[in-house]
Amino acid sequence: MAQKTLVFRGEMFGISYEFINFDISKTLVFLHGWGSNKALMKQAFEDCFKEYRHLYIDMPGFGNSTLPSFGLTSKDYQAILTLFLEALKVEPFAIFGHSFGGKIATLLNPKNLVLLSSAGILLPKPFCVTSKIKISKILKHFPYFHNITKVFLRSKDVAGMEEVMYQTFKNVVDEDFSATFAHFKNKAWIFWGEDDRVTPLYAGEKIHSLIKDSSFFTLQGDHYFYLTQAKAIETSLMGAFS
């Protein structure tokens, strides 16, 4: 495991990363989802794709990478990772992205894109979420009560996170990436867990319909299906990659 320091918008960012099969030239880059880290992606894929070099990255604010000093947007993550890959002199053969990482992977515009239950399609919010939003908006007019109750109104996705990551979460959580997917012109392979309740199956079907040169696969499992289906993903991709 190593860390690369770079400057973005005048601020220092320390990006934690790890290579596997370093002496191989073709590189697969793996981007984790929100609230996760590179260790989970490595756990899934380190024994797969042995003909390729692997690069596992902790995105800013996650894992062993440093906490940003300001709230980031998805395009900020794209810009930071572009600087990072340039600094390491890595031109990815393919980028894998899970959930939130799928959005960033798409923005990076690799020649081969692998989406794993990607975020990016707006989903209807359940009643409990819309109720929390309404309550929070009302309480903003009463600062004392708002400060006391805001922790209880936040999504479990940001539970225990620093305020700057909550601001980042608000920046990225409700983005509609439909146009971004539609403008992606390279090859894409989309894998989805059949029992995914976080990003439902129809979201994957929608992304498949938007990316012209894409293939769609469903596999048994939930939002983290890839933890048990990495070999199936490898089998599906090796012929296409060669």
**pTM, rounded to two decimals:** 0.88
CA dist., res. 211 & res. 68, Å (int): 32
Question: Where are any strands of DSSP class E within the chain?
Answer: 2-8, 11-20, 27-31, 53-57, 94-98, 112-116, 187-193, 214-219
2-122+174-241 belongs to CATH 3.40.50.1820 = yes
Q: From the CB of residue 197, how many other CB atoms can be counted at a distance below 10 Å?
A: 9
Rounded CA gap, 4 and 11, in Å?
14
Write the DSSP assignment of 69-128 as a string of letters: SS---HHHHHHHHHHHHHHTT---SEEEEETHHHHHHHHT--SEEEEES---S--PPPHH
> What residue spans in the chain does CATH classification 3.40.50.1820 cover?
2-122+174-241
Q: How far apart are CA 112 and CA 120, in angstroms?
A: 18
For residue 55, pLDDT beyond 60 = yes
Average pLDDT, the chain: 90
Taking the C-alpha atoms of residue 7 and residue 2, their distance in angstroms, rounded to an integer, is 17
Query: pLDDT tens, 105-160?
Result: 999 999 999 999 999 999 875 544 444 444 445 545 556 544 545 555 455 555 67
Q: What is the pLDDT of residues 25-36, one digit of tens each?
A: 999 999 999 999
